[in-house]
Chain A
Amino acid sequence: MPEIDTLLSVENLSTHFFTQQGVVRAVQDVSFSVKKSRTFAVVGESGCGKSITALSIMRLVPEPQGKIVAGKINFSGRNLLDLSEKRMRAIRGNRIAMIFQEPMTSLNPVFTVGYQIEEAIRLHQHKSKSDARDLAIQALQHVRISDPKRRIKEYPHQMSGGMRQRVMIAMAISCEPELLIADEPTTALDVTIQAQILDLLDQLQKQSQMSVLLITHNLGIVAERAQDVAVMYASRIAELSDCKSLFDNPLHPYTQGLLKSLPRLGFTGKRLYTIPGIVPEPLRFPAGCKFHPRCPIGCNDKRCQTVEPQLRQISDGLPRRSEAETGRAVACWFAPGYERPDDPK
């Protein structure tokens, strides 16, 4: 079976924040890999560590409080965590680019959008000013902004939210990155504009073969746009799967609960399923499996209360539908196929 090339692999990444109240374990032992020209989604609720995972890959974790304490981030044969800041800068924005949730605050209000796109191009590609301008106009054309020659002279406040997000994307793709990290790229936008932006990302991906690491809280976007997915809960990956298997047959009780609790178009029931309780605070994580206080299966189980399950590859018993399919992994003592040592005495 020919394996699809891996572009980025994250191995046992842990990122902690050292605060006055204690150590916040924002990302704990996270491993996944992003394949070439595919979309990998990291989905989870606020505070689950998905954005910090993205920032860790970019090595943009705010220091000195935040620190990557363990793990490897392999990107095209190199561990990004071993690179000097100078060499990292040559990769950041060039080979790995990032777009953010709020296009208003991530663009500089006092420079024209043209200047901001050109800046990235001149920094990474050593082009002359006029060449950079041409490339910037091209980039705006790529993201389907009409009349780019005029738009390039505008300031961010003269544009709508969808337009600004297009500018952000133009900036990100201007250096033809191999990996685009999109951190909640459409959360601030209206649904009709959201659909346009996601369509645009799809088209760009097809044209350029780049990989996309999509960070989102919206399971609908994951279902429509991603091929592989990691579900995060309380700093850890709860479940790792290809997209189809996840939605057909979720294995982790948290994933199952999330999927059941969503109000969907066409739902006519009287009540929604709810996951009881709230997401635990990072400084007060429960012992054992962090989901056990809210879990319908494990809330009274001794093992779930005391021993945290690790993310393990399992076979869900179904034949693999294609060679592109990733194996599934889950962190739950009760998942089918999850190996359990003897019950604790």
Chain B
Amino acid sequence: MNTDANTNGFLLKVDDLKTYFPVRKGLMRRTVGYLKAVDGVSLAVKPATSFGLVGESGCGKTTAARSILRLIPVTSGKIIFDNIDILAANSARMRDIRASITLVFQDPFGSLNPRMTVANIVGEPLKIHKKITGSELAEQVRLILSKVGLSADAINRYPHEFSGGQRQRIGIARALILKPKLVICDEPVSALDVSIQSQILNLLKDLQQEFSLTYLFIAHDLAVVQFTCDIVAVMYMGKIVEQAPVNELYNNPLHPYTVALMAAIPKISVSPQTSTHRLKGEIPSIFNPPPGCPFNPRCQFAGENCFSQNPPLVPVAGNNEHLIACWHIKK
């Protein structure tokens, strides 16, 4: 086993991950530039905790997650999972890794094969990775279905017979049947109705406790992330701009983007509130990012430094766990 990777008690450690997509143009399809979907992301996840990646669409949070599973080719960086260097693993080793990192997808309608029964959908990972078949397979499927709150008569039914929330439960059962160490939840509740969201969020929490699961939780909804996660990283244009333990981040957001993101969430209270942190403009095109800090066109504090140099992600004064990439904030 490859044990040269020292992860210091972290289950997953990502170091300076870069995933660039080449931009091709013209008759010869020459590469004229790169779309930097993930540009130097570092993160570390402790076992049995939840790490949240938040950001708006196109910020690179999903690409980061898929890079960790090597579902898309990574440009550079280092990914250590469970003391294994993922980017150096050969395809057989990668197969094993994919049994211990599983995915829960956003769209419970698109992520289940409509022509397979629930038993086949949920049982397939076991057939492939553990070569389990027959009655043992059926037994395990039944067990995991009961864990996610589906009755045994679901086994022979097809996805279209279920509601959105129930389908998401099927997706969760499929992700958990291999007893993975890390579950990547990619917007698991954003396609669900309000009254179903809380059911699924509670379920994910219960399962985490029962099976000591580690979650990498991707979402755009800060309230959802606050409920589920221990540490949260805010992404903007392929970079982490702020990272902190969940309560620290929500009580003391520092990066102007985080502040604006929180101010933009409609609050459930009718007390009059004036939002002073309204962001101007839109996210710049990722094909042509601004020089310096990627947030500078929308930032009210942007000063000289911000237009020339990209700020590094460094701890704020007095708190090693609170990281921020901003020239404006005094460290």
Contacts and interface: CB of A to CB of B under 8 A. Distances in A.
Interface of A: 45-46, 160, 162-163, 190-196, 198-199, 217-221, 223-225, 243-244, 247-248, 257-259, 261-268, 270-275, 278-279
B194 interface: yes
Contacts of A45: 193-195
A278 B278 contact: no
Contact of B269 (A247, A257, A271): A247
Given A192-B264, A224-B267, 12 more contacts: A45-B193, A192-B261, A195-B279, A217-B193, A219-B194, A220-B267, A220-B268, A243-B270, A262-B223, A262-B268, A265-B222, A268-B247
Contacts of B264: 191-192, 194-195
Contacts of B226: 263, 265-267
A299 to B, nearest CB: 15
Interface string B48-91: 00000000110000000000000000000000000000000000
Contacts of B247: 268
26 contacts: A45-B193, A45-B194, A45-B195, A46-B193, A160-B282, A191-B261, A192-B260, A194-B266, A195-B278, A195-B279, A199-B278, A223-B266, A223-B267, A223-B269, A247-B268, A257-B195, A259-B268, A263-B227, A264-B268, A272-B202, A272-B227, A273-B198, A274-B202, A275-B195, A278-B163, A279-B163
Nearest to A278: B163
Contacts of B282: 160, 162-163, 193
Given A199-B278, A223-B268, A261 B198 contact: yes
A198 B278 CA distance: 11
B205 interface: yes
A63 B226 CA distance: 45
B148 to A, nearest CB: 14
A163 B281 CA distance: 10
Contacts of A247: 268-270
B223 A263 contact: yes
Contacts of B223: 262-265, 267
A265 B267 contact: yes
Given A191-B261, A196-B279, A265-B265, A244 B198 contact: no
A217 B264 CA distance: 17
Contacts, number: 119
Contact of B194 (A194, A196, A217): A217
B205 A278 contact: no
B262 interface: yes
B270 A272 contact: no
Given A224-B266, A224-B267, A262 B198 contact: yes
Nearest to B58: A190
A224 B278 CA distance: 14
Given A194-B264, A220-B265, A261 B194 contact: yes
Interface residues of B, number: 41
A194 B282 CA distance: 11
B261 to A, nearest CB: 6
Which residue, of A162, A221, A224, A257, has the highest number of chain B Cβ atoms within 10 A?
A224
Given A261-B198, A263-B223, A265-B250, A192 B193 contact: no
A46 B108 CA distance: 15
B165 interface: yes
B197 interface: yes
B92 to A, nearest CB: 40
Which residue, of A45, A258, A274, has the highest number of chain B Cβ atoms within 10 A?
A274
Contacts of A278: 163, 165-166, 196
A57 B98 CA distance: 52
A190 B198 contact: no
A259 B269 CA distance: 10
B38 interface: no
A308 B137 CA distance: 46
A324 to B, nearest CB: 14
Nearest to B246: A268
A239 to B, nearest CB: 15
B270 A244 contact: yes
A215 to B, nearest CB: 15
A261 B267 contact: no
Nearest to A216: B266
A192 B56 contact: yes
